[in-house]
Amino acid sequence: MYQDMYERWLAAELDDADLKPELESVKGDDAAIQNRFAVALKFGTAGLRGVLGAGTNRMNIYTVGRATQGFADYLNANFDNPSVAIARDSRNNGELFVRTTAAIMAANGVTAYVYPRISPVPTLSWAVRDLGCSGGICMTASHNPAPYNGYKAYGPDGCQITSQAAAAISAAIAETDAFAGVKSMDFDEAVASGKVKWIEDAVLERYYDAVLAQSVNNLSDEQIAAAPLKLVYTPLNGTGLVPVTTVLARAGVSDVTVVPEQEQPDGNFPTCPYPNPEIREAMQKGIDLCEQVHPDLLLATDPDADRVGIAVKCKDGSYELLSGNEVGVLLLDYICAGRIEQGTMPKNPVMCKSIVSTPLADKVAEHYGVECRNVLTGFKWIGDQIAKLEADGEVDRFIFGFEESYGYLAGPYVRDKDAIIGSMLICEMAAYYRAKGS
């Protein structure tokens, strides 16, 4: 059966010229054909993720198109005048997949709001809620190696889609033929007709304001000047550079040296084949620069800027990586103590963490009188707790959530982990303690 599917793809007039040579190159190679066509990429609560290339088991405009048609069918069945926000990170083919997705949504009567430049996952979650969209899509494979891309799907709450939604979308995808069953139109015509709209900079500005509003201790200019924080930062060739440096500058952190080899977006990730800030190899260029610059802190965000890792300067001048559990507990303690000190702690505060994250957080929360809710692994479950608080009119009770895999969120303004606010609060925490002489 996979041979028949391969022959069908090989005979088709493909709109992506890069796919045909790959199909030709595996002719007669049964194992290679089976690997590409024996199964289709599975659509789940995290959408799609896979290696770029030709075939049903690869990320390409046809697997993306089929998924988008299924998502569009779901939106039209469940929402009046549906709309969707779309973003991408720095990965290869991201722009192609965004244009493909937006054109299909437009052809199906779903208004598509598109970020005109690469943009982190949390800004997509923000746009869904800020623009009142029925759903969202971000083209990202998070911290996977360079050959990967993905299609992360969001619901109207800015959270990754529920199991029920994923099942309904999967059922619609199963009924869709990748070549004959997908409605589309010319992207430029869709823009001209207003069916595809560019997301304006004002949306991003409102996101920045929401992040900055979560500041715990607003240090005075005098305090910052007396003990300025020195930072080395790497976006790991992803989306973090502009939003992280913008927010840090507005928060008063201006002494930032960016790792030059990893500064610009590059889907090939030439200096870190596995762009994961949990791994020392990905952080090595930053650590090497620290040996020259001697900062207080090294900060690294992953390609879609929803996770952030750090290395701190030790007394002997070396730099030690901190785990996600360590940073999560430090941030929880800082947020709780700071909000109590500032008089901004809400009544009956709540924090959330995944069940695989450190139980030390439970103890810290108990110490400060904060309810700690332990949820299943996956930040959507933390987002689900925020949604439940919101439904009860108590969303301001949520003060912090984290996963051991470097994912942090303070405040309910988005419903996914956010390396931008993680970066701001980590730097604010370090600057605060430095100003105190600690």
* CA distances from residue 28 to 21, 31, 34, 37, 150 in whole angstroms, order as listed: 14, 9, 11, 14, 29
Structure tokens at 230: 């020195």
CA separation for the pair 301, 405 (Å, rounded): 12
Relative to beta strand 407-409, strand 398-403 is antiparallel
134 is catalytic: no
Instruction: Tell how strand 148-154 and strand 135-139 pair up.
Output: antiparallel
Asked if 74 and 172 touch (Cβ cutoff 8 Å), the reply is yes
- For 194, other C-beta atoms within 10 Å of its C-beta total 9
Strands laid side by side in the 48-51 sheet: 48-51, 148-154, 135-139, 83-88, 111-114, 196-198
**What's the rounded Cα separation, in Å, for the pair 74 and 108?**
11
Give dist(CA 363, CA 424) in Å, integer. Answer: 25
The side-by-side arrangement of strands in the sheet containing 350-354 is 371-375, 350-354, 398-403, 407-409
The pair of three-digit structure tokens given for residue 187, joined into one six-digit string: 């992207």
Q: Which of 125, 142, 184, 423 is catalytic?
A: 142
* Helix ranges restricted to H, 255-323: 280-293
Q: What is the CA angle 399-404-406, rounded to 5?
A: 80
DSSP string, 248-266: HHHTT--EEEE-GGGSS--
Distance, CA of 130 to chain centre: 17
Q: Residue 49: which of 35, 32, 67 has the closest Cα?
A: 67
Residues with catalytic roles: 142
